[in-house]
Amino acid sequence: MKAVKTYDVIIIGAGPAGIFTALELADKGLDILIVEKGQDIRDRIATSLNRDAKPEDRVRNVVCGWGGAGAFSDGKLTLTTEYGGNLDDYMPKADLMDKIRYVDEVYCRFGGADRKVYGDENKDRIRDIKRKAAAADLSFIPARIRHLGTDVNGQILTHMRDFLEGKVDIMADTAVDHLVEDAGQIKGVLIKDQFYACRYLVSAPGREGSEWFVHEVTKMGLHLTSNAVDIGVRVEMPAEVLETITDVVYESKLIYFSKSFDDRIRTFCMNPYGFVVEENNDGLLTVNGHSYAHKKSENTNFAILVSKKFTEPFHEPIKYGKYIANLANILGGGVIVQRLGDFLDGRRSTPERIQRGLVRPTMPKATPGDLSLVLPYRHMQDIKEMLEALDAIAPGANSRHTLLYGVEAKFYSNRLELSSVLETKIPNFFAIGDGAGITRGLVQASAAGVTVGQEILRREAK
Ligand SMILES: Cc1cc2nc3c(=O)[nH]c(=O)nc-3n(C[C@H](O)[C@H](O)[C@H](O)COP(=O)(O)OP(=O)(O)OC[C@H]3O[C@@H](n4cnc5c(N)ncnc54)[C@H](O)[C@@H]3O)c2cc1C
């Protein structure tokens, strides 16, 4: 096949994983191409502000384009190894922490330096919570977070784009259609039937491109393992109950291993004075939560998620999660809400019972119902135990008035077998970021890009 052009490195996807690979490699005498199926950053921002843009363009623009899935997020950089991915499965935690520090420095260099880092204060109070948590069999993991804010996040991505101008070729609004491999060697990519050759291929297509990616690598005969699926509920209670935690740290995670099943259960995404919201995943309605800077509710919400990894012969955890979420949709027409007291007594919540409760739901459209008709016994038992343990550090968490909304589910892309430098079994073919199923956040996705960029430079220096 004759190549239109030959590059040293082709990078698929201009999310943080792809951008950080390019930042490492720029100005090192290599010919580099980034291919991004969404819009370039300035066009992308313009589309997001254009109310007349076609609805399908606006939807695609949310997760596709320069900056990737989190380009319009408020850019919380989690500077802790315990959050945002599983890169510690591929490298020692100390090395990952070095990379996280390095990534933070890069974000600072491009415009994030004066943004506040949360989590460095209140050391004594954090130690106190940790002690109480440990006594209740809970592991309390506070996060250090640099909060960029949506506007600064956009500026940083624009500065990175401008820095790379002239140093790498950038094809926006262009999707890679196929990967090209021959006799176990990576050769390049096909874009609209045109062949672009390369010596190194870095695939960073994000969650959005993961299905396409799985299809492509399966054709190459590469082996994938299924990831865990996290299923649970969003919990809502008076904000005062959790102030012992939320006043001390911006974001934290509590982990518990259930006595009944030894399952790993964690809290996720705590929103002080926040709101519970519906999330539409291609028509499947699940629950999520968020908080505003200026609009406050009286409640705090967070997720309790049970992690389940399946073994042989089952390979479809995402299908399993969707099946359970769909049951809630069938029974409740969408998200179901239930008082913890009703959940424990084995009866449904009715509008009257919710009305009599002490916690006012911030998602009034959720249907009062019975989550025991939806969640497997194992998940119900795990959630019950988690709330009992939580009550030890936040008295009132296990109140009969606490509200449970279901179903909350987190799906992760399948994982390829990768080496410690994130290389597939095919030499010089790397798979990184959320699309490879190994990261779940901006910082670890960026750190994956750094890892591969540095490895390519190391090989080139030989
Ligand atoms: C609304 C939202 C808010 C978030 N907020 C935060 C946060 O505050 N903090 C945090 O740490 N994380 C956050 N995240 C998660 C974070 O954005 C992701 O973990 C991160 O962007 C993953 O980076 P990535 O480079 O692996 O993939 P992505 O960012 O998804 O980028 C992949 C890119 O590849 C492109 N692509 C896909 N297929 C192809 C193809 N065939 N050819 C060419 N291009 C292709 C896509 O268009 C996309 O732009 C948020 C995510 C969302 C959706």
Kindly write down the DSSP assignment for every residue of 251-283, as one continuous string.
SEEEEEE-TTT--EEEEEEEETT-EEEEEEETT
44: left (phi > 0), else alpha (psi -120 to 50), else beta? alpha
Q: For ligand 1, is residue 272 a contact (CB within 6 Å)?
A: no
Q: How far is the CA of 6 from the centre of ligand 1 (A)?
A: 27
Give residue 170's pLDDT. 98
**Residue 282 reports pLDDT greater than 80:** no
**Residue 360 reports pLDDT greater than 70:** yes
Residue 383: band (very low, low, confident or very high) from pLDDT cuts 50, 70, 90: very high
**Residue 293 reports pLDDT greater than 70:** no
Both tokens of 346, joined, read 């084995």
Pocket test for ligand 1, best of 83, 191, 208 (most atoms within 8 A of CB): 208
Class of residue 326 by CB neighbours under 10 A (exposed 0-12, middle 13-18, buried 19+): middle
Q: Which atom of ligand 1 is nearest to the CA of 439?
A: 19
What is the mean predicted confidence (pLDDT) over 376-386?
A: 97
376 closest CA partner among 406, 399, 414: 406
372 closest CA partner among 324, 318, 317, 314: 324
Please state the φ and ψ torsions of residue 252, each to the nearest 5 degrees.
-150, 170
Both tokens of 383, joined, read 């959630």
Give residue 413's pLDDT. 78
Q: For ligand 1, is residue 17 a contact (CB within 6 Å)?
A: yes
Residue 7: helix, strand or coil by DSSP?
strand
Give residue 179's pLDDT. 98
**Residue 294 reports pLDDT greater than 90:** no
Q: Which atom of ligand 1 is nearest to the CA of 448?
A: 26
Q: What is the distance between the alpha carbons of residues 203 and 35, in angstroms, rounded to a whole number?
A: 10
CA separation, residue 310 to residues 224, 255, 259, 317 (Å): 13, 20, 19, 7
Residue 20: band (very low, low, confident or very high) from pLDDT cuts 50, 70, 90: very high
Q: Which atom of ligand 1 is nearest to the CA of 85?
A: 19
Give residue 150's pLDDT. 85
Q: For ligand 1, is residue 13 a contact (CB within 6 Å)?
A: yes
Query: 400-440: per-residue pLDDT in tens?
Result: 999 999 999 988 878 899 999 999 999 999 999 999 999 99
Q: How far is the CA of 135 from the centre of ligand 1 (A)?
A: 38
Q: What is the mean pLDDT of the chain?
A: 94
Q: Which atom of ligand 1 is nearest to the CA of 66?
A: 49
**Residue 295 reports pLDDT greater than 90:** no
Beta strands per DSSP E along 29-106:
32-35, 76-78
Give the lowest-confidence range in 68-77, 212-221, 254-263, 335-344.
68-77
Please state the φ and ψ torsions of residue 408, each to the nearest 5 degrees.
-100, 130
Q: For ligand 1, is residue 437 a contact (CB within 6 Å)?
A: no
Give residue 56's pLDDT. 80
Query: 79-112: per-residue pLDDT in tens?
Result: 999 999 999 999 999 999 999 999 999 999 999 9
Q: What is the distance between the alpha carbons of residues 289 and 287, in angstroms, rounded to a whole number?
A: 7
What is the mean predicted confidence (pLDDT) over 365-393?
A: 97
Percentage of the chain modeled with pLDDT above 70? 100
Give residue 312's pLDDT. 83
Largest CA distance in the chain: 73
> HSE on the CB side for 287, CA within 13 Å?
36
Give residue 113's pLDDT. 96
Indicate whether this model's pTM tops 0.85. yes
Q: Which atom of ligand 1 is nearest to the CA of 84?
A: 11
Class of residue 266 by CB neighbours under 10 A (exposed 0-12, middle 13-18, buried 19+): buried
Residue 428: helix, strand or coil by DSSP?
coil
Query: 184-243: per-residue pLDDT in tens?
Result: 999 999 999 999 999 999 999 998 899 899 999 999 999 888 888 999 999 999 999 999
Q: What is the distance between the alpha carbons of residues 59 and 62, in angstroms, rounded to a whole number?
A: 6
Give the lowest-confidence range in 292-301, 336-345, 359-368.
292-301
Residue pair 211/205 in contact (Cβ under 8 Å)? The answer is no
Give residue 283's pLDDT. 85
DSSP letters for 105-155: HHHIIIIITTSPEESSS-HHHHHHHHHHHHHTTEEEEE--EEE--HHHHHH
Both tokens of 60, joined, read 């695609």
Q: For ligand 1, is residue 67 a contact (CB within 6 Å)?
A: no
What is the mean predicted confidence (pLDDT) over 158-171?
A: 98
What residues pair up with 170 in beta bridges, in sequence order?
A: 34
Q: How far is the CA of 165 from the centre of ligand 1 (A)?
A: 21
Q: How far is the CA of 284 from the centre of ligand 1 (A)?
A: 21
**Residue 141 reports pLDDT greater than 80:** yes
Give residue 291's pLDDT. 80
